[in-house]
């Protein structure tokens, strides 16, 4: 993650592109590493934590 962030900064990538890549990474983690029965609950928890972090 640090390398990805450093690359974006070095290339002066726009924030929306960085967020898209991060979103794709999160989606991949959820689909590959979280059982289907738990995906929705974990997604809701993640979204709530993100909202709280930026408030």
How would you write the chain as a 3-class SS string? CHHHHHHHHHCCCCHHHHHHHHHHHHHHHHHHHCCHHHHHHHHHHHHHHHHHHHC
pLDDT of residue 33: 97
Number of structural domains in the chain: 1
pLDDT of residue 37: 96
Give the pLDDT band (50/70/90) at residue 1. Answer: confident
Enclosing domain of residue 40 = 2-54
- For 9-54, how does the pLDDT look when each residue is reduced to its tens digit (9 = 90+)? 999 999 999 999 999 999 999 999 999 999 999 999 999 999 999 9
- Tell me the whole-structure pTM to 2 decimals: 0.79
pLDDT of residue 28: 96
């Amino acid at each position: 993650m640090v390398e990805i962030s450093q690359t974006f900064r070095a290339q002066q990538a726009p924030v929306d592109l960085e967020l898209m890549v991060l979103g794709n990474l999160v989606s991949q983690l959820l689909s590959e590493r979280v059982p289907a029965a738990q995906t929705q609950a974990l997604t809701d928890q993640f979204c709530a934590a993100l909202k709280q972090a930026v408030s």
